[in-house]
Chain A
Amino acid sequence: MKEVHKNGVKWGMVIDLDKCTGCGACSVACQAENNISFRKDETDRLRRISWLEIYQISNHLPYPHTRVIHMPRPCMHCDHHTPCVSVCPASATKTGADGVVSQVYPRCFGCRYCMAACPYHARYFNWWDPTWPKGMEKYLNPDVSPRMRGVVEKCSFCYHRYHRAKNKAFMEGRRELREGEYIPACVEACPSKAMTFGNLNDPHSEVARLAKSPFAFRLLEKLGSEPKVYYICTQDWVRKQADNYLEEERLRHE
């Protein structure tokens, strides 16, 4: 699977947790861009849909050494044996030639096997018909189809924005996109400029440079799924939590 985009583009993201303020603008921008529905009560994490989840992590030290930070988590767009892609019985999810893991809603019949397989809980099931308060459906973005009850959905790296950028480049007679021409809504919104997006295969791109930082890491690297979302953090306690084990797992591994 790795060979597919060896010489082409491989879209990836770097989130600098040193710069991230945990404000959640990325998550809200994502919800607005991707027509994500909301319900009266959204406090159940297992039921609510939020492609870009904000995780709260703590160093669990006693007062006054306690530190809590927030961490945005989009779909990791795994590169190697993508867990969701390998299990989908309906061919509803695929790793594209550019590395973006897609989700085709009309093909999905809602078995939720992919949700079980995803190590990052990045996939969400529509338990109900999405509805909007009267009139609010007018703000829906026509570039993204609203999903229906019974299908799984997830972050697409705002692929429709890629289409728009490509169309624009084509109209201007270019075959290649300039750096920064295609960025997902979350990256665009980030007020502290903590998120960077681009072609990981291009050695001159900012993402490729940042991904090589000695402080860069990915979540659950032990699984070998090669996520295309990198994090940077100079604080050791944060980096250590990236490959966290459950208590019972810890015994086996140590």
Chain B
Amino acid sequence: MKKETIWYLDRRDFLKFAVGAVAGIHCSPMPWWLANDIALWTQNWSWRPSPQKGPVSFINSTCKLCPGACGIKVRLVGNLPVKIEGNPLHPINQGGICPLGAAGLQFLYSPSRIKSPLKRTGERGEGIWQEISWDEAIAELVEKLRDLRTNGNSHTVACIDGQRHGTMSRLWERFLKAYGSPNHIYTPSVEDTYDFTLTLMQGEGNGVGFDLENTRYILSFGCSLIEGWGAPTRMMRAYGAWRGEKLGNRTKIVQVDNRSSITVGKSDEWIPAFPGTEGALALGIAHVIIDEELYDSNFVKNYTYGFDKFKSLVLKEYSPQVVSEKTQVPKDTIIRVAREFATTKPSIALWGRGKGSRPSGFYESMAIHSLNALVGNINRPGGVLIPKGLPLTSWPDVEMDDIGTQGYYMPRVDQSKDLRFPFVAHRLQNMAANIQEETFYPINMLLVYEANPFFSIPDNLSFIQATKKIPFIVSFSSYMDETAMQSDLILPNHTYLERWDDAFTPLGLQYPVLSITRPVIKPIFNTQHTGDIILSVARELGGPVARSLQWHSFKDVLKQNTQGLFHYGKGIVPEAEPKEPWKGLSKESPSLPFASSDEMWNRMVEKGCWYDPAYSFGKWNRIFTTPTKKFEFFVTKLTTLLPKARDEVFLPHYEPITLEGDYPLLLMTYELITLVNDGIGNPPFMTKILDDTLLKKNDVFVEINPKTAKQYGLGEGDYAEIQSIKGKVRVRVHLFEGAMPGIVNIPLGLGHTAYDEYLKGKGVNPNEIISVVKEPVSDLALGWGTGIKLVKV
């Protein structure tokens, strides 16, 4: 039999084949097809957004997300806004923008937007709403307002206003006055502190300016200078300018703070003082300045009153040794800083903790501002200035009938005109207490505009509890926030990108600015401008209310403001980028080039603002309007009020703050520029960039010094419960060397129970466990810290 040849594969053949195949495949286009196919296969996307294309245009407007009043430039593609940038023409931010401003479009399209007027049908806070028409909503509001007014209860209407610096607040004030209610209450802010400090020591408290760009030495008592204090973007721009100077010539920043914050990290020196003792530290510094005769004797002699009394008090009670024991600041540091502060010219002392969302203590503010007077840095370049007011068109007097007059001159429900201490203009905390304890008259209607007090004020739960006694709460919020959740009727406002609005000079700026906000897109939901609602409610109410508010629309109100500026005749509506407007403040601004106020209005809308970068130095009678026409170390206005008090009461001194209850640790809240903690919710873009030592999944981290943590057996990432007199919250622990031993630091702005899935339920809201302390004499509600116990869980 012929042997058959069996086809078989030996090792060599296999290798030949394999090599051949590899070579062959690579000569073919197959690998590239495969790579392409893999790419296609991995890029399955069921839904693909295709952004609309179109011509690009820009609209200048003003950001209303904080009172900083930055100019913005909104980029549109077709008719849709796609990006918010800084307006380079605007003097405050000069083209820069903060993270919040840059995230603005996430507010416009936020899932929390309220899409139409809503009427509550379920229990309060249950979130069951019925959509109603605008006519129905306004009719309901008008009916309730009319009933209250007819029955002589107009004063039982209160309005909480979170805006302050704009024509809207002027309009609210006017409406409430004509209607007959004194209760137009602003949300707490450090501005109240500045107002009463200046009212008492300098005579008038209508705005303060800090000439920071021109100063050489900054002594900041807890101000988060670059984290949202004052006008945030202006502060960051100023910081960039200081650091842009040559080495050795840079403005020195000394930061007094209880934790190593971002501002501390960027300052030249950190002075950790125990929280609440800042006033004592300032007096210790004053002691050295007076003792070593480093003060400006010319200024002190000619422009101050009560220096001798102040001198003897400070020399007697506040030697560096004594202050060092109170504040935990080394004696040598106090002496050195005092010498630097007094000899570096110009230097400035600043106060207002964090971003300034809570008032600072009264004597603390007085003590710190005294330092400015000692070195003579008031009404001088690089010092504390009183900026010119905005020359707006003045409105005719409000027409008042009997009911209106009677209501308007009732005492305020927050007791802010209380004779015991009538210098604090707004005391929201008192309102809650008075409603709860029924000490005053009841509040029958609460109107909430651009504020979220149910979340943002210290001890918010007590506040919410008190408001249960208010039968009718109306929210004008654009978003379903905590306050809107608890209201009975929601009349949603346009967002700042859909409405006409304006912003006045922000806190701390040296010169007046009026910025215009204009719609960049048609309202995307069934919302209405609250200003227009006020005007139509006034029309419906009729009588003196209607006659006091005769404007056709809110835009007309804004337009009318321009007439005042036009007649004032000076200032700049920017055509080119401003070149460091803080230089040459002593020069007068150019005249306005417009033929009519309409022309000026059109140009302001186009460019975004009007400003007047001028300041008249000297003119001391404008700066000091106290009874003595001087800066008063010894406050004469208080002497008439408290005739029997000892001298110390009228002088800056240190008043220790006693916290409620006996607790081993102190909880301090802190604020971040990347975390909004007032009227609005944090946008997703900003929540994304939070440090992972701050938020992990839904847990918030508190900062504790490793030594303190060790005492409690706590390690990095451990869960713990914080217990205070008000309640408890669950947190995780982050060991942080930059925390003062014995103090637990917790960020403000998390712990929302409202808003959308991008924010709700993340972290805890420290306001819930903060007990508010009343400062003696001023009766000011302080809520920056509280005594706590820490338990490992």
Contacts and interface: CB of A to CB of B under 8 A. Distances in A.
Given A50-B688, A150-B42, A192-B239, A63 B741 contact: yes
Contacts of A251: none
Interface in B636-677: 673-674
B266 to A, nearest CB: 6
Given A28-B103, A189-B102, A138 B109 contact: yes
B230 interface: no
Contacts of B758: 38, 40, 133
A102 to B, nearest CB: 16
A234 B247 contact: yes
A192 B738 contact: no
Nearest to B272: A64
Contact of B692 (A38, A43, A90, A142): A43
Given A68-B265, A149-B44, A90 B83 contact: no
Nearest to A136: B109
Given A142-B51, A191-B240, A109 B38 contact: yes
Nearest to A238: B265
Nearest to B45: A148
A7 B607 CA distance: 40
Contact of A150 (B43, B244, B262): B43
Contacts of B740: 63-64
Interface in A70-117: 70, 89-90, 105-110
A90 to B, nearest CB: 5
A109 B35 CA distance: 7
- Identify whether the interface residues of A are mostly helix, strand, loop, or mixed: loop
B96 A109 contact: no
B243 A24 contact: no
Given A16-B243, A138-B80, A191-B97, A56 B111 contact: no
B390 interface: no
Interface in A130-146: 131-142, 146
A89 B48 CA distance: 26
B49 A137 contact: yes
B689 A27 contact: yes
A203 interface: no
Interface stretch (A29-37, A169-177, A220-228): A29-37
A192 B82 contact: no
A139 to B, nearest CB: 4
Contact of B111 (A29, A89, A110, A133): A133
Contacts of B232: 23, 191
Contacts of B579: none
A21 B80 contact: no
A23 B42 contact: no
Nearest to A215: B247
A181 interface: no
Interface stretch (B424-432, B478-486, B693-701): B693-701
Contacts of B56: 164
A45 B692 contact: yes
A141 B81 CA distance: 9
Contacts of A56: 691, 693
A42 interface: yes
A21 B81 CA distance: 28
B756 A133 contact: yes
Contacts of B227: 21, 23
A20 to B, nearest CB: 8
A90 B635 CA distance: 77
Contacts of A193: 96, 237, 240, 244
Contacts of A42: 684, 687-688
Interface in B738-758: 738-741, 756-758
A141 B687 contact: no
B43 A148 contact: yes
A1 interface: no
B757 A151 contact: no
A164 B58 CA distance: 15
Contacts of B244: 19, 193
- Identify whether the interface residues of B are mostly helix, strand, loop, or mixed: loop
A186 B690 CA distance: 17
B226 interface: yes
Contact of B757 (A33, A40, A58, A110): A40
B108 A21 contact: no
A106 B48 CA distance: 14
A212 to B, nearest CB: 16
Given A27-B99, A32-B105, A63-B741, A140 B262 contact: no
B91 to A, nearest CB: 14
Contacts of A137: 49, 51
A119 interface: no
A107 B108 contact: no
A5 B758 CA distance: 44
A50 B687 CA distance: 12
Nearest to A92: B39
A31 B688 contact: yes
B5 interface: no
B102 A66 contact: no
B688 A108 contact: no
B260 A24 contact: no
Given A23-B226, A67-B264, A191-B86, A38 B688 contact: yes
A129 interface: yes
Interface string A146-187: 101111000000000000100000000000000000000100
B600 interface: no
A69 B260 CA distance: 10
B19 interface: no
B83 A23 contact: no
B498 interface: no
Contact of B82 (A90, A141, A149): A141
A18 interface: yes
A21 B103 CA distance: 18
A32 B84 contact: yes
Contacts of B262: 21-22, 68-70
B705 interface: yes
Contacts of B39: 90, 106-109
A189 B46 CA distance: 34
B69 to A, nearest CB: 14
13 contacts: A21-B240, A28-B103, A35-B51, A56-B693, A66-B737, A68-B738, A109-B35, A109-B38, A142-B82, A185-B83, A185-B85, A189-B102, A192-B243
Given A64-B260, A67-B738, A191-B93, 5 more contacts: A63-B738, A150-B44, A193-B240, A193-B244, A194-B240
